[in-house]
Chain A
Amino acid sequence: MSRIATKFAALKAQGRGALIPFLEAFDPDRDTAMAILRGMPGAGADLIEIGVPFTDPMADGPTVQKAGQRGLKAGASMAGALGMVREFRQDDAETPVILMGYFNPILSYGVARFCAEAAEAGVDGLIVVDVPPEEADEIAPDAIANGLDLIRLVAPTTGEDRLPKVLSATTGFVYYVAITGITGTRSASTDDLAAAIPRIRKYTDLPIAIGFGVRTPQQAGEASRIADGAVVASALIDGMVATLDPQGRATPATVPAVLDRVRELAESVRQG
């Protein structure tokens, strides 16, 4: 069983959902991002999503856009992001790691080479925002061959007619984009989520995580109970940015601020 499936099965046995915090690779610099990544499991992260910076992140709002720009300025690259995962795996063999990003950096790296090296580095799943099911054959064969889960996005706009098509090709878990919109802008209401998730469950037995607009511990707790997991990105990045010095560099407060927030989120998720 893959690390992702094992993790969700274990959490199900515990009767709770997953907390999936996000960090952007190399934001604000490699060492700080690495310290945050290393600290996340201890702070209560069940799975971790790492964003691979791209110059033109069309599904992201200003918070993640700027995180990517800081990452790129700090020297982020695909090889650099994989290097972070490799280092993380030296002392964590259990926490699933998902890379989230856009297709062009993968294409540029070489799809086959990327999938092979990602698997070798200890990556468990991929979310490639701009590769919908219609373009899946661009990456699915290499991902499958290397045992990487290809986690698909389902959006509020994904109608019942499309759901089987989207879900049939998904492995690992399903990522429900809670709003029609970009990251870090709006939040879905509990009612909307409570209506949306059963609609997806009709077509899949995979775990479902909710992302986009999950900010507070309360929202994370609710999302993890309505679905099987909650992804928190912009709120963590905003918290981190508040600790940076005027030049945008990390301070001693940076790593603890992010991990404290992860702890608060985890506590709420664990109250399930």
Chain B
Amino acid sequence: MNHTLPNSYRQGPDPRGRFGPFGGRFVAETLMPLILEVEAAYEASKKDTAFQAEWRRLLTHYVGRPSPLWFAERLTAHLRKDAAPGMGAKVYFKRDELNHTGAHKINAVLGQILLAKKMGKTRIIAETGAGQHGVATATACALMDLPCVVYMGATDVERQQPNVFRMKLLGAEVVPVTSGAATLKDAMNEGLRDWVANVHDTYYCIGTVAGPHPYPAMVRDFQSVIGTEAKAQMQDAEGRLPDVLVAAVGGGSNAMGLFYPFLDDASVAMVGVEAAGRGLDSGEHAAALSRGRPGVLHGNRTYLLQDGDGQITEAHSISAGLDYPGVGPEHSWLHELGRVQYRAVTDDEALAAFQLCSKLEGIIPALEPAHALAEVLKMAPAMPAETIILMNLCGRGDKDIFTVAKHLGENI
């Protein structure tokens, strides 16, 4: 089934790391040899059964995979209340928020840190926005006894304090980045700068399906465990494929992880949800696909928020994990092909979904998947009741309670 069908959506990237016109390896020469080394090591690891077995062992016994598939019954009943008779899709959650460290990020981190060890690297660096990728990387480094430096925008250090402290407890050094808007984009710049200066011993553990080839493909492949599990679980639960997949898109790793195994299943529709921040027309959002245009940043060609001169503009989202002016190149390709639809949800809509999910399902979601849920709440009532929506609940909201409390005017 996943053989190379002539018009498979699962063939990318090509040997240059391109998904159609997107992706590639736009890095300085200093990094180029290392990027090629990572690619070679990654290709070898795919065929290395001991490597694969060790990654699987960690996913099972350390992360707690497979994550459950949950029929969100009360939420489904809630959105059927106002739907026309016979309408209101059935909503399932893929519960990656139950992973150790509280988000999907750990899936790809463990794969990458095992790769780093295999490559003989002795120092790990990472960038982080919400702090989830930083926490996951710090966790894996604690487990595998590697020093870890995490670059985090100073703005994000401020709004994700619990995760900053977690990283410190785990033994990582957190470096606040003050350049630019001091968010995820700037943290990634600093990560790349550190890497250029320390190529001999350092591995850069990228947190999403962005960066130069092979990162978008590699992170996607590791995260595809989400979609592969969900496909089998849905078969058990419903005896069929879901009709619609929904996932939040920051860089796009949880979304690619869910979507990828389903890309050639023509009956499955897919919706990626970007952050509309204060509104798509407010100029303060993080919706690279909805409102950006193609350009080159952080090693790949993709949709970007930029001005008329090709200068990158600042993103805004209440969710630090979505606050990025770019998006993984494979999403840009799927967007242009029309295989995945990309929509956007505002801060306020995400906040409302965050609260609703907590009250109805007893699950406090992270603000990132709260964006996906807000879109589910919009689309589900207009769909027939037999329709099955599968949403990636890719992170839990512990890290966000301070931000949310502040927006709700509560002091905690």
Contact = CB atoms under 8 A, between A and B. Distances in A.
Given A58-B192, A108-B308, A135 B29 contact: no
A115 to B, nearest CB: 15
Given A103-B26, A155-B29, A130 B197 contact: no
B296 A107 contact: yes
B197 A105 contact: no
Nearest to A157: B33
A56 B189 contact: yes
B308 A132 contact: no
A39 to B, nearest CB: 27
Contact of A132 (B27, B180, B199, B298): B27
Given A77-B309, A155-B28, 4 more contacts: A61-B193, A129-B28, A157-B32, A180-B200
A182 B31 CA distance: 11
Contact of A182 (B27, B193, B311): B193
A109 B310 contact: yes
Contacts of B24: 134-135
Contacts of B296: 102-104, 107, 130
9 contacts: A103-B26, A104-B295, A104-B296, A107-B295, A154-B29, A155-B28, A162-B33, A180-B200, A181-B30
B38 to A, nearest CB: 13
A219 to B, nearest CB: 19
A155 B31 CA distance: 9
A189 interface: no
B33 A159 contact: yes
B65 to A, nearest CB: 34
A158 interface: yes
A19 interface: no
A74 interface: no
A60 B308 CA distance: 23
A20 interface: no
B299 A182 contact: no
A68 to B, nearest CB: 10
A133 B197 CA distance: 21
Interface string A210-227: 000000000000000000
Interface of A: 53-62, 65, 72, 77-78, 102-109, 129-135, 152-159, 162, 166, 177, 179-182, 185-186
A135 to B, nearest CB: 6
A166 B306 CA distance: 30
A55 B197 contact: no
A58 B28 contact: yes
A25 to B, nearest CB: 12
A53 B297 CA distance: 14
Interface of B: 16, 24-34, 179-180, 185, 189, 192-193, 196-200, 294-299, 304, 306, 308-312
Contacts of A53: 311
Contact of B298 (A58, A105, A185): A58
B197 A104 contact: no
A135 B18 CA distance: 11
A62 B32 CA distance: 22
A132 B197 contact: no
A134 B32 CA distance: 9
A107 B308 CA distance: 11
Contacts of A177: 28-30
A104 B199 CA distance: 25
A-B interface, 7 closest residue pairs, ranked by CB to CB distance from nearest: A108-B310, A181-B197, A105-B310, A155-B30, A153-B29, A104-B310, A130-B26
Binding site secondary structure of chain A = loop
Nearest to B310: A108
Residue among A55, A158, A181 with the most chain B CB within 10 A? Answer: A55
A179 B34 CA distance: 15
A109 B311 CA distance: 11
Contacts of B196: 58-59, 180-182
Contacts of B31: 157
Given A103-B296, A107-B296, A58 B29 contact: no
Contact of A135 (B25, B308, B309): B25
A152 B30 CA distance: 11
B309 A130 contact: no
B16 A134 contact: yes
Contacts of A104: 295-297, 304, 306, 310-312
Given A155-B30, A180-B196, A132 B25 contact: yes
Contacts of B193: 58-61, 182
Contacts of B26: 103, 130-132, 135
A72 B29 CA distance: 26
A72 to B, nearest CB: 7
A103 B25 CA distance: 12
A262 B55 CA distance: 56
Contacts of A107: 294-296, 310
B310 A78 contact: yes
Contacts of B308: 108
A105 B311 contact: yes
Nearest to A68: B311
Contact of B33 (A106, A130, A158, A181): A158
A106 B310 contact: yes
Contacts of B198: 180
Contact of A56 (B180, B200, B309): B180
A122 B28 CA distance: 26
A108 B30 contact: no
Contacts of A65: 179
Given A56-B189, A131-B26, A134-B16, A78 B309 contact: yes
Nearest to B307: A108
Contacts of B33: 155, 157-159, 162
A228 B406 CA distance: 60
A131 B301 CA distance: 11
Contacts of A156: 30
A102 B26 CA distance: 10
